[in-house]
Amino acid sequence: MATTLSTPLSGRPALADALEAHLGPLGCDLIRDLGELTLVAPSEQLLDVCWTLHDHEALRFEQLIDLCGVDFSAYGQSQWETEEASNTGFGRGVDRDLKVDADAPGRFAVVIHLLSLVHNARVRLRVHAAGEPPIVDSVVPVWAAAGWFEREAFDLYGILFRGHPDLRRILTDYGFVGHPFRKDFPLSGQVEMRYDPEQKRVVYVPVSVEPRVLVPKVIRRDSRYEHPVQEGSGNA
């Protein structure tokens, strides 16, 4: 029976079987969860995996939808407890210090979302960046659209892409220090800028804002019901 475009292949066993058959020998692991497929590839085999995903007739993932970086150093942690904390006062902001393991193995990863128009299928590809600084092969030779995405991952996470034709920052300012999406980068940043009237130019100075966890104040009383209208009082 022919496959209809109304049913994406991503959740069907046929795609999972094809991925395991053709990419398992390259050291890839397949995660099946929530009707989605995540292919975890070893960094040393990334380009071989990508060319197989792109060219093999059973796969044909010819379109790159997205590429981004991930920092797993504080994975599973949160400054806000929402399940067991009380719903009053300051009980919700229970963890003031987020524990970041800067030396955690496999801390950084690159996640790529791919689409096969031929088979109406989607797959997520994940590869962990090895070394310090973290580095993986650029997939621009396979999907040219990855160029700007890889520059963004480099800018925000400090992940290097080996073989990228023009790897430089794309979102932050010239001379920016650090990578703002890393978990150990302060929310207030490292520096702030202001206009110096004496030098007649914009200058950078150390940031003066102290990082803190803000706890929202919730006012539970409603003035509309402080003095309820009694029946027969004559007030409309």
The token pair that represents 185 in the structure block:
């980068």
Domains detected in the chain: 9-72+107-174 (3.30.460.80)
Contact 97, 78 (CB under 8 A): no
The better pLDDT of the pair 86, 118 is held by 118
Q: What is the pLDDT of residue 114?
A: 97
Rounded distance, CA 164 to CA 88, Å?
Answer: 51
Residue 53 has pLDDT above 90, yes or no: yes
Among residues 143, 147, 148, 158, which one has the least CA distance to residue 70? 158
Among residues 35, 34, 1, which one has the least CA distance to residue 15? 35
Beta-carbon contacts of 224 under 8 Å, excluding residues fewer than 6 positions away, are: none
User: Which pLDDT band, with edges at 50, 70 and 90, does 122 fall under?
Assistant: very high
Q: What is the pTM of this model?
A: 0.74
Contact 161, 150 (CB under 8 A): yes
Beta-carbon contacts of 209 under 8 Å, excluding residues fewer than 6 positions away, are: 188, 192
42 three-state secondary structure = coil
User: Which pLDDT band, with edges at 50, 70 and 90, does 54 fall under?
Assistant: very high
